[in-house]
């Protein structure tokens, strides 16, 4: 892994190549261009330089949209790429909602949705009623 010192040295090199060294977006563009010249594995110098350049641009008040345009990403992709906590929180919330929903129809829980919880999942009141109708129909047919 690259130390913070090496990443800051690379960022200074990118800043010296930028057309406007005071503009964080121009420095970011120069850092992206510099990364194309650097031989590097993911997680090495290239990632450390980009992470630092993005962090400095965000500290200067640059929007995720403007940063994403430099990377050719949409805003959400850029935010996910450079903020692991955001991505982790998003996935945890998504899993919690999925796990709390009905295992059969995926209906989310709510104040008027009653759930029966079991070891293998959950079933909502509508699916319980439907299952009851199916079993009653089978019993009427003599099965």
What is residue 126's predicted lDDT score, i.e. its pLDDT?
Answer: 93
Beta pairing partners, 110: 113
Beta pairing partners, 116: 123
Please state, rounded to an integer, the average pLDDT across all residues of the chain.
78
Instruction: For residues 27 and 13, give the distance between their C-alpha atoms in angstroms, rounded to a whole number.
Output: 10
Beta pairing partners, 115: 124
Q: Is the pTM of this model over 0.85?
A: no
Burial class (CB in 10 A: 0-12, 13-18, 19+), 64: buried
pLDDT tens digit sequence for 30-79: 888 887 777 655 556 777 888 888 888 888 888 878 888 877 654 455 55
Rounded alpha-carbon distances, angstroms, from residue 30 to 45, 66, 78, 93, 107: 15, 15, 17, 36, 49
pLDDT tens digit sequence for 107-133: 888 888 888 888 888 899 999 999 999
Instruction: For residues 54 and 34, give the distance between their C-alpha atoms in angstroms, rounded to a whole number.
Output: 14
Task: Summarize the annotated binding site as residue ranges.
Answer: 102, 105, 124, 127
Say which residue, 7 or 4, is predicted with more confidence: 7
Task: Summarize the annotated binding site for Zn(2+) as residue ranges.
Answer: 102, 105, 124, 127
* CA proximity to 18, closest of 35, 33, 36: 33
Residue 68 contacts residue 77 (beta carbons within 8 Å): yes
Residue 32 contacts residue 6 (beta carbons within 8 Å): no
């Amino acid at each position: 892994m690259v130390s913070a010192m090496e990443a800051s040295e690379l960022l200074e090199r990118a800043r010296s190549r930028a057309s406007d060294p005071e503009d964080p977006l121009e420095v970011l563009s120069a850092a992206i261009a510099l990364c194309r010249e650097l031989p590097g594995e993911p997680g090495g110098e290239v990632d450390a330089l980009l992470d630092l350049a993005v962090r400095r641009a965000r500290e200067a008040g640059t929007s995720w949209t403007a940063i994403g345009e430099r990377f050719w990403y949409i805003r959400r992709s850029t935010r996910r790429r450079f903020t692991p906590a955001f991505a982790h929180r998003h996935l945890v919330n998504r899993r919690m909602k999925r796990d709390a929903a009905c295992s059969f129809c995926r209906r989310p829980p709510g104040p008027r949705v009653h759930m029966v919880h079991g070891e293998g999942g959950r079933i909502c009141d509508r699916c319980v009623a439907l299952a009851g109708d199916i079993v009653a129909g089978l019993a009427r047919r003599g099965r």
